[in-house]
Amino acid sequence: MSNILDYETVALVDEVDAIEIIDQTLLPGKTEMIRLHTGKEIWDAIYLLQVRGAPAIGVTAGFGIYLLMKHSEADSYEAFMTEFREKSDYLNSSRPTAVNLSWALKRMEAHVKEFCEEGKSFDRAAVIAEMKAESERIKAEDIDVCRRIGENGLTLIEDGYGLLTHCNAGQLATCKYGTATAPMYLAHEKGMKIKVYCDETRPLLQGARLTAYELHSAGIDTTLLCDNMSASLMKSGAINAIFVGCDRVAANGDAANKIGTSVVATVAKRYNIPFYVCAPTSTIDINTPTGDEIKIEQRKPEEVTEMWYKERMAPEGVKVYNPAFDVTDNELITGIVTEYGVLRAPYDVAIRKLFEQVKA
């Protein structure tokens, strides 16, 4: 089995005006690299989950807006920014819940404004070159942040631990290491004997297709289970801690992650198992007061009724409830693992202090 760590999840191929990604919809059966050239191809790749995971989406957005503006013919700052915002809004509409998508696009816009001093000077070639440099910084920072999240998360793991994770917050969701899996990879590097249990994550099976695939290919002791088996596993005593990623953390510590995460957190609370959310600060949205304000994407009913089956497995015409995410209440979260350390409740205070520290 090939090691997924040998592949780049998202890469800029500037000489051919493309973003190269692993098509994650084909995993684990086939590892295929595809190149995205147009705005529609980038939009589709994000929406269709060919590239997925908040950090990887953010990196894709940074590269994407750069490529879409690379051949702009705008002859003024105002015209350039009008075109920029149109293309940015288009990319941003692909996945509304993943805050890193809008975060990366806003960061790229802010950097252009700063570079141009809000329109006082405009050199189109220089601006585009600076956009490329900023998009590459976003990727480099993602790798660094994930490594630091892994180091902080590693302090919560002991030799022999059984760890549970949900969905995929691994290397496939970032540019390297992942968020929730970063402590697992670092523990494995250090020779610690850990066992990782992966929820399959219905209906898109990211745990089965992606997390189990990448951890197993990296040589980590990996066990796959159906989502509704996690309570039985936790009750058995096999799980010492739970690590999950997230797509958005509200200012009060509520965290939106793949559907089913809140069930895992609720059961973990019942069995006194620590439940950790691994989140780069770019995923913490201080402008969203609580999880109630997080927009939850509703996806196509066919993902539940037909996907993965040779024949339809539900009656024609039946209604389908298919939210992509749920929100885990902050009271169920033991700690939020960031690149700056592990945040503890009360989260509104901890998050405010974190952002004050980052700005200082």
Whether 44 is catalytic is no
- Alpha helix (H) residue ranges in the chain: 39-47, 54-70, 77-92, 99-115, 124-154, 182-189, 206, 212-217, 230-236, 261-270, 302-305, 347-359
| CA 52 to chain CA centroid, nearest Å | 6
d(CA 118, CA 81): 10
**Count of H helices and E strands in the chain?**
12, 14
Q: How far is CA 109 from CA 91, 104, 237, in A?
A: 13, 9, 49
d(CA 230, CA 248): 23
Catalytic residue among 247, 254, 285, 326: 247
CA distance 208 to 41: 26
Question: Within 10 Å of residue 258's Cβ, how many Cβ atoms?
Answer: 26
CA distance 333 to 275: 5
270 near 277, Cβ under 8 Å?
A: no
Catalytic residue numbers read: 247
